[in-house]
Structure 1
Amino acid sequence: MMREIFSAVIIGVLGLLLLSSSSPITLVPTISNELPKKESHSIDLRENLYRLSVFNDATVMVVFEDKGRVTYLRQNVYYTYKNGKWIGEKFEGIKVFGKIPVFEPKAPHETIIDRVRVELKSPLLSGNLYTTLYTSWISIPALYSGDLELLRPKRYPVESYDFEATLYEFPDDVLRKAKVPKVGLEVPEVSEKVLKLAKNITKGIESPYEKALAIERYLEENYFYDEKAPPAPPGIDPVEWFLFYSKRGVCLDFNTAFVILARLNGLPARLVTGFKIKAEPGMQEVKLRQAHAWAEVYFEGIGWITFDATGSRRPEEEKEKVQQKSGVREVKVSLGNSTVIELPFKVNLTTNPEIPINITVEDGKTIVNITGEKVGWFNVTLGKLNLSILVGYNTTTKITKWPKEITAGSNFTVEGIVTTTEGILVPAGSVRIELRKEKDSPGKIVGRGEVRHGRFVVKCSATGVAGKYHIVAVYEGWGPYFESTSDPTIVIRDKAKIYVKEFNYTRVGSVKIQGFLGTEGGASLGGEYLEVFLDGKLVGVAKTDSSGRFSFFVGVGNPGIHKVTLVYEGSKGIEGDKKTIVFRAISASITIPSFVYAGDELEIRGKILGASDGTVSISGDFGDYYSKLSENGSFKLRIPVPQDAKGYRKVIIYYGDLKLIEREVYVKQKLLVDVSNALMVVNRSNELTVRITFINGSPLIGSKVMLVAFNETLSNITNKKGIVTFRITPESTGKYTAKLIVITNDGFEVIPIKLRVFRYPLYVYVGLFLLLLSLLLLSAKVIRVKLSFNREPPVYMTNETVEVKTNLPVSLYVNGKLHGRGKEFKLRLNPGNHKVYARFFFFSIEREVKVLDDYNNVIVCIFEECLDGEPSKTAREILGLNDLSLIFEKARYSLKKVSLGEVLRFFRGIRGRCLNEGASEK
């Protein structure tokens, strides 16, 4: 699948790079004897599609680094190498979202955290995310493999995500002393030459880490980076071909060799693929040509360490020098034809050739014309240059059987023949089948096969492609039989799929609609047109770029619910698609104060047009708060500000998932002022002391404070306790408002304070007060107010006059209302209970007067008021058998009415025996 992914990227499918592999999670990286189950994707070193990617300048993603410490973006890890291929493993992981529990080394180290954002140019439709070794946080829900440190998203497609990379740096001495686990990884079968080379590179080295460095240096210094390096021929392992024959290759060749040589030395190494980026802060575009492969080696207590053995590119002039120094140059000549080569120097033919050669010299250059008369290898010496000439057959490849139309993702078979131009069947060789949009451009490899007696049958898979293609059979040559191609057409049917970045809310105005046009089979559709409708009205046409991405702006003028519909009509072999998104457009008016005092409340209010329900969420440095909208779309929220807060604090307001506004509010520490000696004496020097603290209790130190009072301005500096003093001489008495102007780092504040100026010192007023208080206390013991009535107890009949006398001139109140002032009073009261209150300055007395409407009730009330101290006794037991007890019994138990005379006799008889005679005094 790896070769399919890279081929597809070259024709525009940039989202399907390097499908992932993984194994169960653990917090500690381990090396297991039992590797994970294999998945179908693999990397074939003979194809080595990294050679093709280096020529492709298409942008794969945009990366934003915070600190610029990330170099490698991993996507796949490989353990198993067999028959020239790296075979992938089945992905198994746990669900994560946010924080990831990564491995932490036991050895001494320094930890660095870098924040990275990845924006993909084509949505990731399958496979793993591009992350780092030891990714500790991810912004989207994902599956995580701890053994391989790989992440796969839970939902596709993925357009962007953020992650945090945890990077460990170790001292050199720690690395050089590190050991490797006893259990290693499988070592593939290699020739004796490879095994001997592996041991010679590390001869005399004991440290595992230094062994890895030695292998890395050897490959970097003895091999050259060359994307045009020839692939390994059949019958020889690609690692052996790279190490001993071609000695040229790309990153995959170098680091495959590193892993094999490391394992032969007992080092647990694995291959990693992904992208190599610039380790620098800020934004960078990542091109397809940055696709890369490298290696990782595991050390006990340290974890996996990255090694990259990729060598440098050999300059073109150096290549020419090497060719001349080695004295070998290969030339192919077809039978019956001539080939001309030009050398930039003069040479003479120094051997008797077995092949016709004509040499001419023009302007210091040597023109060599070689004619192919018979098939075979021929060696010709031109001075110090040796020519290795192959005379062979030109071939013709023809596809004889193939399906004219297929469904995307299905398998199909291509049959054909390969002959010489004379019609002779070629005996052997290999053929690959490519799907190409342009027949002369590289395409997607969909199958490989062998040519036997001039015929080939290749099983192919149409995954990740759709539409009309040239189906190209490429005969790769064999011995004296040269390459050739055949290119009929094929239609791959699929159904289009429109992926749109959906949203629930947006602002009124220009709204960006963006997405990706692909197919259900996984292809991207570049250069296609989609019609855009807003609320059923056609507003324009969007065109996809080469990777299938599109963006379009629609003008939304009114708040409310709106619909945008995208319609793709389809093309040759591709069924169209239609996608509608519904969203609410709003217009917001929000008021946020520019500053607030610590300890107060930050009041935020606003109104959202186009919304009558829902919730406004507020986040930032003050915490998270929510406010429901009223029916007219307004909201109001008060947020408490901590007393220790200070400086700028961020406030972000959302409606749903739409960010409405982001502001910074400046938090000032409120000043608390405590004024001492605010009571002053006129025409004397008074010291005013002011202590100024912040609301959190800390003093205001070293700040200038100015006092504006009595038409003059004074200034001073607060000490370490926040205290400042001023000397003031007021010229007149009275109450005054002064101003304190306090200058702080936040500006200045004006604080009013109250001052009171007296004529005499305070101790004079205190003395007078104490004297007056003493007189009052003395008088309270001497003076007593007495209140008496013309009848005791004061119980009266209706219409009787109540006569009141006092010993002092008083203010007399009846039932709380002022009746008059004097010493004698006459009252006419209605039936009921009445409060009579007399007051003389601070002294007072209160009595209760009863007014009744029946003489019998008067007698009973007087008895109960005066004589009923023992309610269990009868009147005769209390009074004896006499006129008083008889009058009471008549009033209490008889139906007859007592007379006024009887009432008066009863009053006179019990006057001296009344229990309740007297008054309540205050």
Structure 2
Amino acid sequence: MVGRKYVAFLTLTLLSFLIASLVLGPALVVVPPNTTPLEDIFSPELPAGNNTTGNLPVEKPYWEGIRLNVTGASHVHYLRARVYSVYVNGEWRTGNVTRVPTNVVAPPEVGVPHHTETDRVWVVLSKPVSGPLFTSLHTVRVDATGVSAIPEYNLFEGLNVTSYGFTAVRYTFDVPYLLNLTAGNLTDYMNAPADEALVNLARRITAGATSDYERALLIEEYLRGNFQLNENATPPGGADRLHWFLFQSKEGTSYDFATAFAILARLNGLPSRLVEGFYINATPEEQTVTEKNRSYWVEVYFEGAGWLTFDPLHPDTNVFRPFELHVDTKELTLGPNESASVKVRFWDVWGENATLRVMDWEGRELFKTGEAGTFEVPVGPFGKPGSYVVLINASTSDGSNAVGAVRVNVRDNVSIAPELSVVGVRVNSPTWVNIKFAGFRPDNVSTDSPLVDNVIYTGPASTKPPAGVILLKIAPKPGDKLGWHMVRVDVSNGSRTYPVVLPVFVYDSAIPRGDVPEKLLAGSKLTVSGTVRGRESNSPAENGYVYASIVSRRFILLGVGNVSDGKFTLNLTLPRYLRAGLSSIDLQYVPRAGGPLMPSYTSELVRIIGLSEIRVPERILAPPGNVTIAGSLTTAGGEALANATVTYSIDGKPAGSVNTSTDGTFRVEISVGGIEEHTVEFRYAGGDYYTESSAKTEVRTVLLMVPGNINATLGAPVTVSGRLLGVENATIKAYIFPDREYEVEVSNGSFSLFIEPFLNPGERTLEFRFGAYILGRMGITVISPVRLELLDERVEGETTVPIRVKALNSLGEPLSGARLAVSVENVTAIVTTNASGVAVVEVPVPEESLNTSVTVTFEGAGYYLPANETFYVVISRKRKIPWLYIGIAVLIGGLILRYYLVRRGREEAPRGRALKIIFTGGIPVFREGEKVEISVECDETPELYVDGKPVGKGREFQLVLPAGEHVVEARCGESVERAGVKVVREYDEAVVDYYERCFLRWAGRELEVERMTPREIAKELMDRMYPWEPLEAITEIFERAKYSTVGLSRGEFLRFYRSLLELVGGECLV
């Protein structure tokens, strides 16, 4: 009995569900809430942007506690790890940059004269690093695992790296080329606080600067000279760190110095960025780098030179210096016959002609090398008490040198030593040197040096043991040799003599003189010869160089020439834009490092004759009548020459004159009666400060022959043909307002203009111009044929039935508001289409099924043409549905369903149809100009947005989007769905980009793709059992995109995209 009840229950349940499913099926079948849409599987959406933005870790970087062993950094002072370009609310952040899977970056193109050195640096890390690698500014190659580059910042990153090598290039420049640099125009590196105090300080620091590089130097000098380094400096809570550093504490960390420099530079128009890393020694020897080397500095961008480093806490690394010489041992105190050693660092050596020598006071060579490094040089023993020196000399073959001295005092029971280890004296400017002694009473002081002019012996003091001072007057005269002298003074006490050796450097001020003409023409070239001699000594300069410059609003380098035996020759080029008037040309002498003639300059007063320029159109095409010629008279630099007289002639005959206005412009009107050709010449006679100038204009009067009006079909291209009488060949412009512009080539007096389809009917005006001259206009009437459709071929009803007809324009778009005459069975009704282009006519239902004709007539309106169509429709009576039985079945099924749900417990309420955005072909990539067809699925009427701007409501959309990446957003009730769409200029470019950026990166995990052709890559991957169909498609389409002149179709692109998706996956694709 129980079994029969269950059988009956199940039978009734199945029957009820079968009936109910026919009626309630659409409401009961829903997509599970977490179901992935099909288009997301084939075209996954990538996250926008990248993860390179973050706040500056001022306190603890990710490499805290790490130790680096660095070898081969012969010319590298800065190891960079992070770069920050955005300054917001007192914090530095990185910008939105791109990582590239490569270990090679091309060096910058340096466009000004420079010096170059290349190092191969090796770094061993105390623990593995995944992230930024420590490299130099111009690193061109990194050898490590998993390397990627950030070219915008000149940075490299690695994956789980414990050691790596990199190739570093370093550029340095001579001073005049640096002073001539102009800051680049990089807006991404210019944001700064709009703070009045900061702005005023920035302007005050650089007041009087004549070049961008000088502005950077002045900021660096200001920070170096007025602030103290304190790595423990911490601003009080709530204080603005930059303000606190600049205006209150006056001390801070390297971060504070670098931040202040960067912001002050930006406020002076210098694009700059903050860099974090390590400051190291420029030596090829192995060195250990730790957290103590951590530092911040700034890089500023200059046109022609790229990014240059500025650091208030360390020496300038942009100026060329042939070497660095550091003598760590300052003074030695020894007993008789004792020896010691001197520590010398010979670093950052450029070229192969530098030499380091260590000599004793008598000139005997103790050590010599041509290699860079750190050296311990043994000195001594020294026989008897006295004061000696050890000289350390670094020099190059071109005359650069640097000298260091170590004072060696040999004592027993007496002591004697000068207060200075070395003395520098200018010719005719004597100085006094103190020699202190103790433990004996001198009875004689002697020297054979011609530099010593006088000796004053104060005698021993009344102390025990006795002590005193000997004063030497060092007075070099004009005839004395410039440079180093070893002055020996013998101080005697009875039979004992105590030698005192004093290195003296005799120098003089230089005077460069040149035969600069009193009058110079802007834009000209000239040769200036001259001499460089000592002011007091008249000694010729042995080496160095002279550069000539002029200041015309800014520093302008005119030329550079080497000095040899006191003579130089300069080949100068004066810029065309030089302003007219009195000015001065500076001749600046720069000696080689260590030269005895000091840098100096002389100024030559000159009169600059500026260039004038008349600017008028080379050619004018205009209709007959009064033709106006507009022109301007300016300097070569573009400055207006106001109130000047310009004469003009027509075909060689004087025709009149005109005066320029305050902005240098003028207008001349000539009358031309027919189709003619004339030459109009304008002339400015010049003056005391400006040259004469002239210019010619060819004037042709022409007649444009085009139809007065033509008809164009909506959605179809238009060709306009015409003639231009009066000229054989020319290029004119055509405009359809407000946004269409065409360049029209006239050949043999005729032209043909192709116009893209119009998307809206109506009147258009096509205007032809040559420059500012209107040649003529014509009208274009855009009309549209109308297509009529019958939406239902069969209709059913009980008493009446609706017959739906639709009106469309030639683009297939609905035609709303159209009056249609619809005739059915000799009955005609006048109806109007709605916003969807649909009109409805209600007709009675016959007793029997009827196949009848429907005639729809549109008489035309406005810019829409008449249309008439006849259709056939079947009209029949609707069968009655047994609603009573269906209702009972549904009720029973519903009760059973409720019983089941209550018993089992409902886990989740049924949901509506999932909101989805579907693109044509399933791939959200389109070519510029193509329609982006989008379908939106949801229960209600969705609303579509593109890049945050509303587009409209509906389920089907056709959009034309500009090139670039866009965000499409659909809103349906409370649901929101977003998808990315990319519009490319050409499919060929997109294919090449995806191949190189996605496919090669994927294939490069197994192959050395840099040395293989596309076909070799595909064959090798096929041999490794990768599917041949997508590989063949990717290779074939890439080769067509790369080398063929025929553009790819959308179908070919979709084939490439899907093949790439099958192999690579969706991470790289957009």
TM-score normalized with structure 2 length? 0.29
Normalised by the length of structure 1, the TM-score is 0.33
